[in-house]
Amino acid sequence: MQTDSSFTFVLFGGTGDLSMRKILPALFEAHRAGGMLADSGKIVAVARHAADRSEYLQWVNEHVKPHVSKNGVDEAAWASFLKRIEFVKIDLGNPDDFALLRDAIQDLPGIRVFYLATGPSLFVPICHALASVGLNANARIVLEKPLGYDLKSSNAINDAVGEIFAEEQIYRIDHYLGKEPVQNLLALRFGNALFEPLWRREWVESIQITIAEELGVEARGDFYDNTGALRDMVQNHLLQLLSIVAMEPPHSMDSDSVRDEKLRVLRALKPVDPRDIGKVAVRGQYHSGVIRGTSVPAYATEPGVRPDSTTETFVALKVEIENWRWAGVPFFLRTGKRLADRVAEIVVNFRAVPHSALGASALRAGANRLVIRLQPNETIRLYCLAKQPGEGMNLASVHLDLAFDQFFREGQMEAYQRLLLDVINGRLALFVRRDEQEAAWRWVEPILNEWKASNKPPKPYASGTWGPAASSAMLAQHGTCWLEEEN
């Protein structure tokens, strides 16, 4: 990803957690790699919790540096990276302060990128303030999730932002789309004759997509209690991953070709009948338990959470796609907090052989599967059956490990690093288009509405487990189970 594109990267929320843990470390890695960022490119942090540039750089040294470079920090690279950083102290609630930002960046070169690492309530006011001082022209704006609370509020934000920035200027970021295994999923499917003929209902029995966390809500109780797992994870991350897995081959990898195919998948999702939600959707809430030997509290006792809260911290769904390729194939989605392990993965379970001359083990479910691990370690494994050494025809599961770190000596690029470079270079393929977002909200809303109307409490599950038993029961009805033994 060599570039000569000069840029001015304006980071709103410059002292926030996202800036500290993800954005600034990603920009440093691109800087350290050499050639990925134009030498003239500048980073302009915007915040009100530092007095001046010197104090802000002190904050960067104390809080950002520990999050960069797992194998240690190259001090020379770090020192040169800090030279890229400027700082503007403004109050985001005061539109008049944006004149200070305009004056600070008006002579800086290159494309202007405005990254809104703030709460969504500030998206529209910031956009209006940028327009009031003429900073919206020929610029790009990056919006973090959550973008709205439901379809109506999402449309309201998109309408307001769309009055100021054209759709091709808006980059709605979903960092899961920037992960290396997701990129390799596209390469495996569309770059090889081996997988694509099998990627359909005739050969695929079911597909699972899991994003599991060991952490609870931490210090985000107030936010999370008004959001829940369905809004926080399913509407964006999980449905985006599903659309990547299920999409038809695009005619090219340009931005609209890829996003057109993703949109077709989202529009083909079988609508959920409110009368069937109990059969295809499970919601849970974690109670106290033990994670890695440490006792952890129940969700209802977390700071900022209402004691009588019915907010879900776990969701499992059965999803169907009504098109020629996937008709009849169940997609199982699962996400939750305080689960047994931290893992994000896609599991493609292929159908068993139609008849086995080698015994019953060749007919067992999941004997052939592709496991795409997104976190914590990024791998792709193809599982199949092989004969065990010795007498007799005894079969055992073996796997082919696509160890990309052994084939490619250069280190893998982190998701935010790839996506930020795409913004700077004007590549939209890995960002969510408005019509995709609307289709996802439209599918999710009946579930949200039914859960709200029924007022039934979520099913309890102990922290450190894999969620409510009803989640496993839902898969058992289809003769399968969650893949939980991988490490």
Whole-number pLDDT of residue 487: 47
What integer is the mean pLDDT of 17-32? Answer: 94
Do 400 and 443 share a domain, yes or no? yes
88 pLDDT higher than 70: yes
Do 195 and 255 share a domain, yes or no? yes
| Phi, psi angle pair for 439, to nearest 5° | -65, -40
User: Please, are residues 456 and 282 in contact by the beta-carbon 8 Å criterion?
Assistant: no
Do 138 and 192 share a domain, yes or no? no
Whole-number pLDDT of residue 5: 78
Domain count, the chain: 2
Neighbours of 112 (CB within 10 A): 20
Do 260 and 397 share a domain, yes or no? yes
Q: Is residue 163 part of a domain?
A: no
Do 191 and 253 share a domain, yes or no? yes
146-168 pLDDT, tens digit per residue, is: 788 899 999 999 999 999 999 99
Residue 351 to residues 28, 138, 144, 471, Cα–Cα distance (Å): 45, 51, 38, 22
Q: Is residue 424 part of a domain?
A: no
144, 160, 194: which is the final residue of a domain?
Answer: 144
Place 170 in a pLDDT band, splitting at 50, 70 and 90: very high
Q: What is the CATH number of the domain that holds 318?
A: 3.30.360.10
Nearest to 334 by CA among 321, 347, 349: 347
103, 120, 144: which is the final residue of a domain?
Answer: 144
Q: Is residue 28 part of a domain?
A: yes
Domain of 267, in residue numbers: 177-412+434-476
User: Please, are residues 342 and 359 in contact by the beta-carbon 8 Å criterion?
Assistant: no
pTM of the model: 0.92
Q: Is residue 423 part of a domain?
A: no
Do 139 and 186 share a domain, yes or no? no
Do 129 and 202 share a domain, yes or no? no
80 pLDDT higher than 90: yes
Helix then strand then coil, in percent of the chain rounded to 5, is: 40, 20, 40
407 pLDDT higher than 90: no
191-213 pLDDT, tens digit per residue, is: 889 888 999 999 999 999 999 99
Residue with tokens 């000569």: 4
Place 457 in a pLDDT band, splitting at 50, 70 and 90: very high
Do 43 and 188 share a domain, yes or no? no
What integer is the mean pLDDT of 397-422? Answer: 82
Q: Which helix (H) or strand (E) holds 112?
A: strand 111-116
Do 227 and 330 share a domain, yes or no? yes
As annotated, the active-site residues are 237
Whole-number pLDDT of residue 269: 98
Q: How far apart are CA 286 and CA 457, in angstroms?
A: 12
332-372 pLDDT, tens digit per residue, is: 999 999 999 999 999 999 998 887 777 666 667 678 999 99
Do 242 and 374 share a domain, yes or no? yes
45-79 pLDDT, tens digit per residue, is: 999 888 899 999 999 999 999 998 766 788 999 99
Do 313 and 405 share a domain, yes or no? yes
Q: How far apart are CA 145 and CA 173, in angstroms?
A: 7
